[in-house]
Amino acid sequence: MSRMTPKEMASRIGDGLLSFPVTPFRPDNAFNETRYRSNLDWLCGYEVAGLFAAGGTGEFFSLSPAEVAKVVATAVDETKGRVPVLAGIGHGTAMAAQLAVAVEATGADGVLLLPPYLVFSEQEGLAAHIEAVCNATKLGVIVYNRDNAILNEDTLEKLCQRCPNLVGYKDGIGDIELMTRIHLRMGDRLTYIGGLPTAETFALPYLEMGVTTYSSAVFNFVPEFSTKFYAAVRCRDRETVQAGLRDFILPLIAIRNRKRGYAVSIIKAGMKVIGRDSGHVRSPLTDLTSAETEELAVLVARLDTSEFAKRELAAA
């Protein structure tokens, strides 16, 4: 049974920072439940409005359906209602619907529907895919608008009319015009989430459009920075936001952009840097080199003496 209604879940996550915990693996690539529980317990000690288990940063794409259910069930059990737990689901329509049923049984509070596997399709086909998933579960559904699953405002409006449990829209493409059209059309019918890679770079302009929350991957290993950065965004403290971008986010992006797949790999490297080693990424992803990991370690170490930290200290 869900701990909250779809509308309650959407309202709750729209009022704070969101994150996607990494899925730890052992050297043999098996799920490391002990490390996962430890990471979740630690993250719950910070102000976070929702954790997305087995999401993109959690390497959903490399997990088997059974592993997805196991990871989500572990997250639900470990968090014990301290924070909403949403589950990543996806692949083709049949598998996505089956996963929705499976994670609902674990006690998850909602689902994030990732783009369907591989194929590009017309709006009618995307709508049928999303509606089938919504019909398979009573949980609140957030649709992830990116890659091969880009909805327009007409399709989204019709889906909202037919699917009362479609309660969230996560943007992963950065099309400002489309985002404006959708927000003006749907208003407060949906909760809007910033979901671009390293969403901190877009957080302030998106807030002006009504996007009150975003998913922070770096929250995994620098939660104190992430929560303070989010607070600065919500206060529209542009100087502090810009300091955080200069001191940490943009240098991190420079490392991330060196190779494909590093958006996930750099977060796993960050966990290693702070002493919460959560193993390697699964193939087809590749890990950061030792030199790149050291660059990241230097960035993390410098946070305490950065301009961002000084501004936060002065504000306190």
79: buried, middle or exposed (CB in 10 Å: 19+, 13-18, 0-12)? buried
**Structure tokens, 299:** 């960035």
**Is 262 considered catalytic here?**
no
- Determine which helix (DSSP H) or strand (DSSP E) holds 193, and give its type and residue range: strand 191-194
Distance CA 6, CA 252 (A): 35
Cis peptide before 284 (omega within 30 of 0): yes
Distance CA 116, CA 94 (A): 10
Any known ligand binding at 57? yes
**Is 170 considered catalytic here?**
yes
Q: Quick one: how far is CA 307 from the chain centroid?
A: 27
Neighbour count for residue 66 (Cβ, 10 Å): 10
Give strand ranges (E) for 155-230.
Answer: 166-171, 191-194, 213-214
Catalytic residue, from 144, 192, 214, 262: name it.
Answer: 144
Q: Helices H, strands E: what count in the chain? A: 14, 8
Distance CA 98, CA 112 (A): 14
Q: Which three-class secondary structure state does DSSP give residue 142?
A: strand
Catalytic residue, from 170, 228, 268, 272: name it.
Answer: 170
**Structure tokens, 225:** 């920075």
Distance CA 206, CA 72 (A): 29
Q: Contact, 86 vs 52, CB < 8 A?
A: yes
Q: Contact, 158 vs 164, CB < 8 A?
A: no
> Can you say which residues are annotated as belonging to the binding site for pyruvate?
57
Cite the active site residues: 144, 170
> Can you say which residues are annotated as belonging to the binding site?
57
